[in-house]
Amino acid sequence: MTIFFSGQDYKYELEGICKLFFPLKRFSHCYDKILLPNDEDYIITRLKKHSKTTLLWVRIKVGIIIKSAHTIVKNDNTDYLNECERVLSTLLYSVLSEVTAIKPSWGILTGVRPVSILQKQRANGKTDEEITSFFKEKYLVSDDKLDLSFMTANTQSKLLEDTIKNSYSLYISIPFCVSRCSYCSFVSHAIDRPNATDKIDEYIDLLCIEIKETANLARGLKLTLDTIYIGGGTPTALSAENLQRITDAITQNFDVPSAREYTIEAGRADTITREKLEVIKNSGAKRISVNPQTFNDAVLQEIGRKHTAKQAEDCYLLAKEMGIDCINMDFIAGLPTDTFESFKHTIDKAIELAPTNITLHTLSIKRSADLFTADGIEEYAKSNITAKMTEYAQKRLIKAGYLPYYLYRQKNTIGNLENVGYAMPGYESLYNVYIMDEMQTILACGAGGVTKLVGNGEKPIERIFNFKYHFEYITRFDEILDRKARVNIFYDKGL
Ligand code: SF4
C-alpha cells in the first residue's frame, strides 16, 4: 500500500496511525507528485497552506471503497506545525475507522506512557475535566481507556509519594530459560543448549563479582537500597544450587532486611520446584511471579510453553502453602488460537485463585508476525477480540477488588493496546512503578541489565548498558566493571 505525503512529511506519525488499522501491511512512501497506482490501495495525506488558513486533506482507497475528508487549520496557531500534524492524524484516523470499521481505543495517542502524560498535566495545574477533554477531543481516546488511566494514576501517585530520597533499586538479570516461547522478546537462552550449559557456572561467578562491586559502589555513594528484583529470562531456570549462589551473593553484600521489597521472578511452571521455592523463601524475597499466560492447554502448546495450566496452578498453590503470600500471575490477551470464551475462563480462574497481583499483557505484533499469517492478523485485528479481552479483564478484575497501578504501551501491540499491572491494595510492586516512571536509580547486574541513573530531576537520565548476551558478558567482563565507574562520575558531579 502506498502512502502519499503531499506538502508535509509527517511520516512517522501518519504511518503509525495507518499501522493501527493495517498491522502487518508493508507501506511504500511517496513524496512526489501524486500519481495514483492502478487498482492498488493507497492513502493520500495532504497539507496545503494558503495565506490565512491551511487545508488538510485525506483520501483512502481500500479495495472498492474510496473515502476522503478535509478540514481547515488557522495559520496563526501558536503551535502551528504540531497542530497540523495532530489534526491530520485525527482526520486520517477517522477516515480509516470508517473504511475498516476498526476503532482503536487509544485514538491517535501513540506515546507509550499515557499515565505519565496525565500526571504531568496534573502537576501543571490542569483539572481532571481539562485533562479528560484533552485526551478525548484532541487524541480521540475512549472513555474506557481514560478511566483506566485515571485509576492507574490515582493508585500510583500514592506510591510515588513514598519514594525515598537518594534510594535505588537493584536489578539482577538471569538471561536463561528452559526453552523459548514463540512470542518471547527477552534476552534468554535455552539453558540446555551447549553454549549456555557450559557457561552457566562462569556466568554466575562473574555475576557474583558484579553484585559485590555494585554493592561497594552504592555504599561509597551512600545510596539507600529500596527494592531488589531478580528477573530475566527466568531465574528459576537455574538449578536450586545456582539460584542459591546468587541470593547468597546478594545477602552477603547488601542489607537485604532494610529493602522495602524483594522480588524473584519464578515465571514458568516447568522451572518451579519446592527446592527452588525454599531458596527463594530463605533469601528473604517476599514476592514471586508464577506466570500461566493462559489457562488453556491448547493455547499453551501453540505458543511453545512446555507445561500445562494445571502445573501452573499447582506451582501457585505450592508457593502459597509454603508461605509465599505475594504472588503475581502474568496473562496475555491476543494469543494465537485463544478465543474470547477461553480468555474469559482464564481471567475467571485467575480471580478464583486470588493471587495478590495479576498482570495483563497484550501480544505484540512483532511477535505475532511469527504466529499469525498477514491476512490472519488483519482479520484478528478487525474482530477486535483483543480489545474485548482486555475490556473484560479490566471490568472483572476491578470488580474483584484489584486496582490498576502501572500501565504502559509497547509499540505494535494488537489493537495498539496496553499492558497493565493490577494488584490488591497494598500489594503493588514498587519496582514496577519506579521502572516505568523513571523515578529512581536502578543499578543493574548481569547480561542484558541496564543501569539507569536518575538524579534530582534537573538533568537527563543516564543509562549504562551491560552486554546483552551471556557469552559477551563473560568474555568482556572487565569492560562491564569499567562502565560501572560512570555511576560514581554521575553522582560525584552532584547532578
Ligand atoms: S518463559 Fe519468559 S523468558 Fe522464558 S522463553 Fe518464555 S517468554 Fe521468554
Would you list the domain boundaries of the chain? 2-100, 162-356+427-482
Cβ–ligand 1 distance for 181 under 6 Å, the answer yes
Q: Ligand 1 centre and the CA of 286: distance in Å?
A: 22
- In one-letter notation, the amino acid at residue 297 is D
**pTM of structure:** 0.89
164 Cα to the center of ligand 1, angstroms = 32
Pocket test for ligand 1, best of 176, 178, 188, 301 (most atoms within 8 A of CB): 188
Query: For the segment 82-119, what is each residue's pLDDT rounded down to a tens digit?
Result: 999 999 999 999 999 999 888 889 999 876 788 989 99
| pLDDT attached to residue 380 | 61
Say if 2-100 and 162-356+427-482 have the same CATH topology.
no
Q: How far apart are CA 303 and CA 295, in angstroms?
A: 13
Rounded to an integer, what distance in angstroms lies between the CA atom of residue 273 and that of residue 239? 10
CATH topology of domain 2-100: Double Stranded RNA Binding Domain (3.30.160)
pLDDT in tens, 332-390: 998 988 999 999 999 999 999 999 999 999 987 665 555 556 556 666 665 578 889 99
The whole-number pLDDT of residue 439 equals 83
469 lines ligand 1 (CB under 6 A): no
- The answer to whether the CB of 223 is under 6 A from ligand 1 is no
Do 448 and 173 form a contact (C-beta atoms < 8 A)?
yes
In b/e form, how buried is each residue of 425-457, taking b as 16+ CB within 10 angstroms?
eebbbbbbbbbbbebbbbbbbbbbbebbbbeee
In this structure, what is the dihedral angle of CA atoms 367, 373, 375, 378, given to the nearest 10 degrees? -20
Which residues in the chain come in under a pLDDT of 50?
Answer: 495
Contacts of 439 (CB under 8 A, 6+ apart): 160, 163, 433, 454
Residue 411: the pLDDT is 74
Task: For a ligand 1 pocket test, name from 173, 174, 186, 294 the mutation site with the most ligand atoms within 8 angstroms of its C-beta.
Answer: 186
Assigned CATH topology for domain 162-356+427-482: pyruvate-formate lyase- activating enzyme (3.80.30)
Report whether residue 233 contacts ligand 1, using a CB cutoff of 6 Å.
Answer: yes
Helix, strand, coil: what percent of the chain each, to 5?
A: 45, 20, 30
Name the residue at shortest CA distance from atom 6 of ligand 1.
Answer: 181
234 lines ligand 1 (CB under 6 A): yes
Question: Distance from the CA of 152 to the center of ligand 1, in angstroms?
Answer: 27
Give dist(CA 374, CA 484) in Å, integer. 44
Ligand 1 within 6 A of CB of 177: yes
Contact 296, 308 (CB under 8 A): no
Ligand 1 midpoint to CA 91 (Å): 40
CA of 305 to the centre of ligand 1 (A): 8
How deeply is 246 buried, as exposed, middle or buried, from its count of CB atoms within 10 A (0-12, 13-18, 19+)?
buried
From the CA of 177, how far away is ligand 1's center (Å)? 6
Contact by Cβ (8 Å): 393, 329: no
Ligand 1 centroid, distance to 335 Cα (angstroms) = 14
Taking CA atoms only, the protein residue closest to ligand 1 atom 7 is 184
Q: How far is the CA of 235 from the centre of ligand 1 (A)?
A: 10
